[in-house]
Structure 1
Amino acid sequence: MPNILTIARLLAVPLLPVMFLFFDRPWADWYAMSLFIIAAITDYLDGYLARAWRLESLFGAAMDPIADKALVMIALLVINGYAGLTPWILLPSAIIIYREVFVAGLRESLGGKARALKVTNLAKWKTTSQMIAITLIFAKGVFEHHARMESGSERAWLMGWADWAGNAGIALLWVAALMTIVTGWDYFRKAMPFLKEEPDA
């Protein structure tokens, strides 16, 4: 079951941009947000079930972080695509994507020594912050497009929620970006002893 959930998350990732190719907004926003939330929940469930049922495997250990990183990076690309590349979203997104590629490269270069780069509690909080931030930014698009179909107080109410979701999502995205810098530096510091060349005999 944990591996099935991980595979399902991997398959769901490329469907995020597809929502905006085949559906009009705000339905595309609804479908993308719902898909992202379900995928994010499976991120918690597969790890929890693997530990609770003692079903941890090399396949799951390899695929789970790949699925997480792919989900976050594709979602950020989708958001930046329809948000118009605003710097308040683009800059933290660039930091997050850069860090994920950097750490993935570190792990690949270390090979079997990559066990030294264990996932820390701060890294888990970073992932949680990213998931919530992206969900809130998706919600902003949902509220905005529904507001355009309303008028009067209903429109104002929906726009108020859109502003709140957007501002909260962007603020949390910056928090996540700062945590990616801290955790990225921590991983680099732990990897440095393994990256130093051996002196010539």
Structure 2
Amino acid sequence: MRNSAFNLPNILTYLRILAVPLIVVCFFFEGPLQPSDFSRWLALGIFAFAGITDFFDGWLARRWQQTSEIGRMLDPIADKLVVSVVLLLLAAEGAIAGWSLWAAVIILCREILVSGLREYLATLEVSVPVSQLAKWKTAMQLVAIGFMIAGPAGDRIVPYITETGLVLLWVSALVTLYTGWDYYRSGLKHVIEDSNRQ
């Protein structure tokens, strides 16, 4: 158990979880939710590192045959922590406001609902595989949030970075909505079958 808990893929997952409070700290360097350009680039760097570990932990676990129960449990938790906390941080800062808040709400609700369904299906010993579109959904979310973290600091180098981030956030929210429905449609038949047996 100790060996599997501290193999390299799992260590990358732990680092991704550790990245969450570090990103938050970056937004409080110069005062509550008043990040300087340096703080934004530092937060973006940490966020990018977290995104890279998201790819490599699963890839290495499969390639080196180091999959583990703790890795399977923590990997989706780490993904949701990174996305959820940074979305809340950007909303508190005001980078995501008005109608764009709905995009963030869609993403957060989908993640919570799917997590609940996945936990229920686990009690039935049913596993619904992650689709390729769902993987692209995660990538789109990370790219959109990366643009939003850069925000005004990015705008000073390349115009419309913030606006591009908002557009990508809406695109990823729509894909998130579709993949959430697709996951529910796949899992719902198992829920109905279990209800009929009771």
* Pick aligned residue for 1:113 from 102, 111, 124: 124
Aligned residues: 185
* Residue among 170, 178, 181 paired with 1:182: 178
The residue correspondences of 1:120-199 to structure 2 (distance < 5 A) are 120-144=131-155, 147=156, 158=157, 161-163=158-160, 165-196=161-192, 197-198=195-196
| 1:8 alignment partner, one of 15, 21, 41 | 15
Residue identity (%): 41
Structure 1 unmatched ranges of 5 or more: 148-157
Among 22, 33, 36, the residue aligned to 2:29: 22
Give 1 or 2: higher helix fraction: 1
For the residue of structure 2 that corresponds to 1:21, the secondary structure is coil
Residue 111 of structure 1, CA deviation: 2.3
Residues 128-181 of structure 1, C-alpha deviations (whole Å, 9 max, x = no match): 00011111111223235xx4xxxxxxxxxx3xx141x11221111111101111
- Measured in 2, the distance between the counterparts of 1:2 and 1:141 equals 34
- What is the alpha-carbon distance in structure 2 between the residues aligned to residue 114 and residue 94 of structure 1? 30
> What is residue 50 of structure 1 aligned with on the other side?
61
Q: Cα distance 1:105–1:27, how it changes in 2: closer, same or farther (>3 A)?
A: same
* Secondary structure in 2 matching 1:198: helix
Deviations 1:38-58 (A, max 9, x none): 111110111111111111111
Gaps (5+ residues) in structure 2?
1-7
Q: 2:87 aligns with which of 70, 76, 83?
A: 76
TM, length-normalised to structure 2? 0.86
Check conservation: 1:140, 1:162, Cα contact below 8 A. Answer: no
User: 2: CA distance between counterparts of 1:168 and 1:194?
Assistant: 40
Q: Deviations over 1:90-146 (max 9, x none)?
A: 1111100000000001111222436432111010000000011111111223235xx
Alignment correspondent of 2:100: 89
Shift of 1:198: 2.2
The Cα offsets for residues 12-52 of structure 1, whole Å up to 9 and x where unpaired, read as 11222221223441222122111101111110111111111
Structure 1 length normalisation: TM-score? Answer: 0.85
Task: Tell me the residue number matched to 1:100.
Answer: 111
Between the two structures, name the one with larger relative contact order (CA 8 Å, sep ≥ 6). Answer: 1
Bigger mean CA deviation after superposition, 75-84 or 58-67: 75-84
List 4+ stretches of structure 1 deviating above 6 A. none
Asked if the contact 2:148/2:162 (under 8 Å) is kept, the reply is yes
Root-mean-square deviation over aligned CA pairs? 1.8
